[in-house]
Chain A
Amino acid sequence: MTSIQEYINSGILEQFVLGCTTDEEAATIAAMATEHAAVAQEIVAIREAIEAFAMEHAVTPNAVIKPFLLATIDYTERLKNGEAATFPPLLHEQATIKDYAPWLNRNDMVYTGNEDIYARIIGYTPEVISAIIWINNYTPQEVHHNEYEKFLVVEGSCEIMIEDEVHQLVPGDYFMIPLYKNHVVHVTSNIACKIILQRVAA
């Protein structure tokens, strides 16, 4: 038992948990863990210490990451299930809501949940991502360094603050966020603000 305790005290298990052991050492440790419950328990305890440390130093991620993550997965799954890829037209000053009717009128492009920000991707190329976005309250501050963000408001209304300028937008309005500018969107309507959004590589 003493030798097992010495083995545990040596610090080799910490090295193992951090992925710092050779394959050979790792195999020996795995065998030791099978044989000795104390070794297995110590490995679990070391991992739990690292888990607790991670929780302790948590950093809240930007609130737009989650809706875009889920939208990306949803889109990938739709393509996998046979949906044909489509390419919505590029947004520009004269773009109208009608240009996007084939996507806006789809029965499955609806916002039923209660997420603050909800996104569905309607087109993807390495240069342009097109999506329908519903924003309930506001979007967090963002700065884009390598892509232009273009909006077309479809329903509801919002104001976009770019540094100290404020732009009021209603259905049919187009707007492009300049690069490197801090911007925030605040919804001003009672209903969620629904927009067509495109992120275009700069």
Chain B
Amino acid sequence: MATIFVVWHCKSNCHHSVQWITQTIAAVNCLLLALLSLMIKDNPGAAEDLLLIQAIRNGDQPALGTLYDKYAPALMGIICRIVHKDAIADEILQSVFQVVWQKAGSFDASKQSVFFWLISMARHTAIDKMRIEQLANPGARNTIYLATSPNSNNATAEQQLFELVYFNGLSCAEAATALQVPVEYMQKYLRLAIKNLAGVAEK
């Protein structure tokens, strides 16, 4: 509860500050308040991430290296599942962190965690790249759909739906059509799939 209160409070604070001081100072305020809220919530990992983003904003290059060490493997896991060529995956990973360097100033801690921001960037960059490859090579399209999961043969319909959306960038409706899942079940399936992810991760 405390977290949510502080986060929203911080958002309105941002809004006021913009009128008085500069946008940068407002952003820093926002970040500090979010940081404080995370410390209250006892989430040192996420609090450390915000400190790293703050340092990156100030031009601290080793801080980017620290953020890289912490999250590059997780992002590479996602990127490799989307694009299947090592050289392209390497390029995408590098470009994600270059964007972090350029855009750390516009990161909004009231909207999402640093890690989720990185995950979204990695996914979108990789999916865009994959689409360009598919346009250049339309024959590969169907193969890519089916080759997504190493165990797609015994994956449940929920998992397959999640993977088509998460790794192939299909809209939920497109994924449902591809798997012949009735549209009215689509959202439930997605919820179930994500619940199962958590189960897998906790084991």
Which residues of A are at the interface with B, using a C-beta cutoff of 8 A? 9-12, 14-15, 18-20, 34, 37, 40-41, 46-62, 65-66, 68-70, 72-74, 77, 145-146
Q: How far is the CA of A60 from the CA of B68 in the complex (A)?
A: 11
Q: Could you tell me the distance in whole angstroms from the C-beta of A20 to the nearest C-beta in chain B? A: 5
The reply to whether A49 and B194 form a contact with Cβ atoms under 8 Å apart is: yes
Question: B25: CB under 8 A from chain A?
Answer: no
The reply to whether A58 and B61 form a contact with Cβ atoms under 8 Å apart is: no
Interface of chain A: mostly helix, strand, loop or mixed = helix
Q: How far is the CA of A157 from the CA of B201 in the complex (A)?
A: 45
Q: How far is the CA of A100 from the CA of B90 in the complex (A)?
A: 29
Total inter-chain residue pairs, C-beta < 8 Å: 120
Q: How far is the CA of A40 from the CA of B7 in the complex (A)?
A: 11
A11, A54, A58, A59: which contacts B188 (Cβ < 8 A)?
A11
Most B CB atoms within 10 A — which of A37, A48, A51, A62? Answer: A51
The reply to whether A14 and B191 form a contact with Cβ atoms under 8 Å apart is: yes
Interface string of B147-182 (1 = CB under 8 A from A): 000000000000000000110000110000000000
Contacts of B69 in A (CB 8 A): 66
Q: Could you tell me the distance in whole angstroms from the C-beta of A67 to the nearest C-beta in chain B? A: 9
Question: B80: CB under 8 A from chain A?
Answer: yes
The reply to whether B116 and A47 form a contact with Cβ atoms under 8 Å apart is: yes
12 A-B pairs whose Cβ atoms sit less than 8 Å apart in the complex: A10-B187, A15-B172, A20-B171, A49-B194, A49-B195, A50-B116, A51-B116, A52-B201, A52-B202, A53-B198, A59-B80, A77-B59
> Given A14-B191, A60-B76, is A70 in contact with B65 using a C-beta cutoff of 8 Å?
yes
The reply to whether B187 and A14 form a contact with Cβ atoms under 8 Å apart is: yes
Contacts of B81 in A (CB 8 A): 57
The reply to whether B165 and A66 form a contact with Cβ atoms under 8 Å apart is: no
Interface of chain B: mostly helix, strand, loop or mixed = helix
Q: Could you tell me the distance in whole angstroms from the C-beta of A44 to the nearest C-beta in chain B? A: 8
Interface residues contributed by chain B, number (CB under 8 Å): 51
The reply to whether B61 and A70 form a contact with Cβ atoms under 8 Å apart is: yes
Q: How far is the CA of A40 from the CA of B112 in the complex (A)?
A: 11
CB nearest neighbor in A for B119: A54
Contacts of B194 in A (CB 8 A): 14, 46, 49-50
The reply to whether B59 and A65 form a contact with Cβ atoms under 8 Å apart is: no
> Given A14-B194, A61-B76, is A55 in contact with B188 using a C-beta cutoff of 8 Å?
no
Contacts of B202 in A (CB 8 A): 52
The reply to whether B197 and A14 form a contact with Cβ atoms under 8 Å apart is: no
In the complex, the 7 A-B pairs of residues with the closest C-beta atoms, listed nearest first = A11-B187, A52-B201, A58-B73, A11-B191, A49-B198, A57-B77, A54-B74
The reply to whether B78 and A47 form a contact with Cβ atoms under 8 Å apart is: no
Q: Could you tell me the distance in whole angstroms from the C-beta of A145 to the nearest C-beta in chain B? A: 6
> Given A19-B120, A66-B65, A73-B101, is A52 in contact with B197 using a C-beta cutoff of 8 Å?
yes
Q: How far is the CA of A70 from the CA of B65 in the complex (A)?
A: 7
